[in-house]
Amino acid sequence: MNNLNLKNLYFLILTTVSVSLSAQEEGTVTVNQPDAINKLLEFKKDVKTVETFKIQVYSGDSSFRAEKVKSEFREKYSEWPTEMVFNTPNYKIWVGNFRDRLEADRALLRIKKNYMNAFIFQPKKD
């Protein structure tokens, strides 16, 4: 390419960029949302996070064994919710959503009869 063609190409690019930049307009965005959303957001600010306690009854690297423990636990203690959680490399079975330490301690006394390695903990907040 000769010098004249490069200058013309350069001029064309500059002109295109300046035209596209000058064509941009400023505007305003209006968000319409129900008043209930604002009330809900205010309510959420006022609600204190409730700390709960859980009991861990199993931890191991076998998902099959974890499912078996979970199933056996439900048969023995149907009053508490159970969940299987995977924290690399282990599967864990967690029990309950106890509102305070005393409630968790009472449950642990019963659970320890069948799950001697069970213990109480507070899950981390996300």
For position 88, which CATH number holds? 3.30.70.1070
Residue 1 in domain: no
Q: Residue-wise pLDDT tens for the chain (126 aa)? A: 555 566 666 666 766 666 555 555 677 877 787 887 777 777 777 666 678 999 999 999 999 999 999 999 999 999 999 999 999 999 999 999 999 999 999 999 999 999 999 999 999 875
Residue 116 in domain: yes
Sequence-ordered alpha helix ranges (H) in 1-126: 3-22, 35-46, 63-76, 101-111
Residue 109 in domain: yes
Query: For the chain, how many structural domains are there in total?
Result: 1
pLDDT of amino acid 114: 96
48: left (phi over 0), alpha (psi -120 to 50) or beta: beta
| Alpha-carbon gap, residue 121 to 92, rounded angstroms | 13
Residue 69 in domain: yes
pLDDT of amino acid 3: 59
Residue 28 in domain: no
Residue 76 in domain: yes
Residue 100 in domain: yes
| Alpha-carbon gap, residue 107 to 112, rounded angstroms | 9
Q: What is the DSSP letter of 98?
A: E
Residue 25 in domain: no
| Alpha-carbon gap, residue 63 to 82, rounded angstroms | 15
Give me the domain span that covers residue 60. 53-121
Q: What are the tokens at 126?
A: 């996300």
- Which positions ≥6 away from 98 have C-beta within 8 Å? 52, 53, 54, 55, 104, 107, 120
